[in-house]
Structure 1
Amino acid sequence: MKKQLRQRGGRAILYGTTRTRSDLFESLPDEIVIVILCKLTSTASSPADFVAVLLTCKRLKKLGMHPLVLSNAGSGVVSVTAKNWSDEAHRFLKLCVNAGNKEAYYTLGMIRFYCLQNRGSGASLMAKAAINSHAPALYSLALIQFNGSGGKKTDKDLRAAVALCARAAYLGHVDALRELGHCLQDGYGVRKDVEEGRRLLVQANACELASVLRAFNITQSQRPDLIESNGSPCRYGSGLPEKKLHPANRFLIEWFGLKGCGVPGPGLRLCSDGWCGRPETRRNEFRRCSGCGMVNYCSRGCQAHDWRVHHKIECAPMEEWNHAIDGVDEEQQVTDDRTVEIDEIESDEPLDSSL
């Protein structure tokens, strides 16, 4: 007997039986729907995409909150914004945390540690993400140890910070790789090895350039100054598109921007890299630029990025400003020592520590 299948107004007619599309959906087992939702949440670009799925029908709303679905949610789903922060958003992140989502661990940990000033809970959540090999969480914990964030200056643990940086660098975190290179160059928290440190710095520059080129699909014909004929990066360029901003950093930037004037508290400063958002947790926690003394950074990664994007043009020794005000010729007053110090900053050498 020949099978007959026709389509009429959204209805499938098979063997003389009419079944609507909704009936076909309802006949799917929950396990299959959950697998589909896991795929959708892992690739969603924003929370709105996830909410749109939940509002489709009651069944999707129920299954969308399944722990397996929430545990697979990507950074786009948990990327809440500061202006939309509410108790509901907090509860949703906690549901994702309870489901074991490492992106939620990290995002909520950063929010609690820096914005809500719940240091213990925030660090604990970031540690859970780090245990699951979350590179940004490992690097953030390393910066907390380097700076002694959330405590006193004497609470710094350089050896632990270097170990966390090494793990994050192994997982491909470029800023951690650069931080580790500087530590080896300076003997900061680890035995000094200048040659290995410089090798890691070169590797960090090459990795960052290669990742940006891949992300924006830039070819050798488009940028011959940056790419060799064999497709490998030839130098670290400053004319590349900006790196991708993590949702947790975007939240910090928006949060302190909404607080007014970007000031996290009395006498406290934000990291001068516009793509970071981390605030000081005590006065003079971050290190200042040894050239102009006008900007400060939470890490070498932020210093290197801001130098390439903005500060290289703006930075000038404080003596130059004083001499310019006094009407003195700058070229006659700037000493050779100061010129060397500026060159050191340009090559990502250590910044002076804040006193």
Structure 2
Amino acid sequence: MPKSRGKPKSIEAHMESSSIEEPEESVGTPIPQEEEPMRDEAVPEPAPSAESVQSEEWWNATASAPDWDQPAAEHAPAEVIPRKGLGMADAYFCGHTSLFPLSRALRAIANERLTGLLRSFWEQEPIELLARDGEIVFVTTRDLNLYCPEVPDVLANVDVVVVERSREQQRESGTPFFLSLAREECIALDAATELMRQYGQKLFSELWTAPRAWIMFEKNPDLLSNVADVPGDPNVRDWALETLRLVQNPDQPPSFDPASIPAYTKDGFERVQKLKLTADEAQFASQFNGARSVQQIAKNLRLDLKSTQQLLFRFLALEIVECWPGSTAAKPERQTFFQRLRRSRQRDR
């Protein structure tokens, strides 16, 4: 029984789409020259015979067979994206601190064990934090007046010329001059590491109160190839809290209200238990119940408002708590059934 007239046309359309998908196989297939004008002039095709239909179906099946037999790996190179080299700098995250806080950036470095450089751009010279496998190696800047304006007393026995040469190297490359002195065996590496930690934390603490700061983390293992001998600080949580303790007079936002109520964030209560808190910080954290205001907490702990704001600033910066506006309208006292009944009888009299 002869098939419908549209059947051979659909086979040709399928052959045409197959030739587009696999240009290598269609190169050797001769295409009659008269088919192109037939498409342009829309000349009706004659009714095919059963033999021609069978022949075209057999040819179509033969042409499509390589699609099933061909391995999928031969099509993969067309979709492969070239991979960057390991030594190429790669921006992992960036943003303004008002939208991407410093504490969140430090948690990302620790949780994902990142290796690279965290650059902080603000009103002064950029501050750079080097991290290796989620550990903080050191914090530095090229501005010596910002990093260490005066030479510490522990370097009194070191040659002044050597110290000044090391400080000049920091102005050029950003390498802490304490590390340069240790490389020249002027001081021990342990002493240099402790000095870099002390001055690095003091430097990083300036960013907590910076009004406008923009941060960017670059994944670049090559940046730490020259500091393989410097140990890192694995406890990023306590490292960040120590930098917050160095902030003496934190500026509260203009919208800060002492009547606001601090409450734990989604994972704040879980994270605060992992911190090494001081006695004052632990007592302050125990007052967060979602109902006490800042004024009430200060009254309970017998703290002045300035000390209370300083403690609250640390927990807010670490995103452990967030402040909610206090209720201005007093809620009506809830009465029992008998109280409402007694009051209704008094009104009836």
> How high is the TM-score relative to the length of structure 2?
0.21
State which structure, 1 or 2, has the greater radius of gyration over its C-alpha atoms. Answer: 2
Query: Greater helix share, 1 or 2?
Result: 1
**What TM-score do the two structures reach when normalised by structure 1?**
0.21
- Which has the larger share of strand? 2
